[in-house]
Amino acid sequence: MAIADRLKMIMRKAGHTNSSFADYIEIQRSSVSHVLTGRNKPSIDFIEKILRKFPEVDPVWLITGEKQIERVETEVKQTREVMPQKTIISPATPKRITRIVVYYDDNSYVETQPVSTDTSTAQ
């Protein structure tokens, strides 16, 4: 099926004559006539105006004749899933560092003990 035939289908479905179709998509009447008779191929501007006025028409169908005349809309549903808030459990008594060991690549090490920051035992 030629693009002229697909345009005729759109026009017939919308109830347009050649001139009313041209006026509706805001194209010169002679341009519509030339495309319908096969004298000219439709320009990208021509096709774009058709698709803007007929958003239900599938662009692939209009240009190539493949697929269906009307777009198949895939419905996208957005859902919000409520996730329970995680509770951070901290130990009853905070852990303290009792020693630090640093290992070197020559198999030696240094062991240190941190300085106490407990102010209750300071004099």
Domain boundaries, the chain: 3-64
- pLDDT value at residue 33: 93
Q: pLDDT tens across 99-121, in order?
A: 889 999 999 999 998 777 665 55
Q: pLDDT tens across 35-93, in order?
A: 999 899 999 999 999 999 999 988 988 888 887 666 655 556 666 777 777 777 776 77
SS3 (DSSP) at 29? helix
Q: pLDDT tens across 8-34, in order?
A: 999 999 999 999 999 999 999 999 999
Count the helix, strand and coil residues of the chain and give each as a percent rounded to the nearest 5.
Answer: 35, 10, 55
φ/ψ of 56, rounded to 5, equals -75, -15
- pLDDT value at residue 71: 61
SS3 (DSSP) at 100? strand
- pLDDT value at residue 15: 93
Sequential DSSP letters for 48-96: HHHHHH-TTB-HHHHHHS-S-SB--PPP-----PPPPPPPPP--SS---
Which class in CATH covers the domain with range 3-64?
mainly alpha
Q: Considering only residues 28 and 96, tell me which one the structure prediction assigns the higher pLDDT.
A: 28
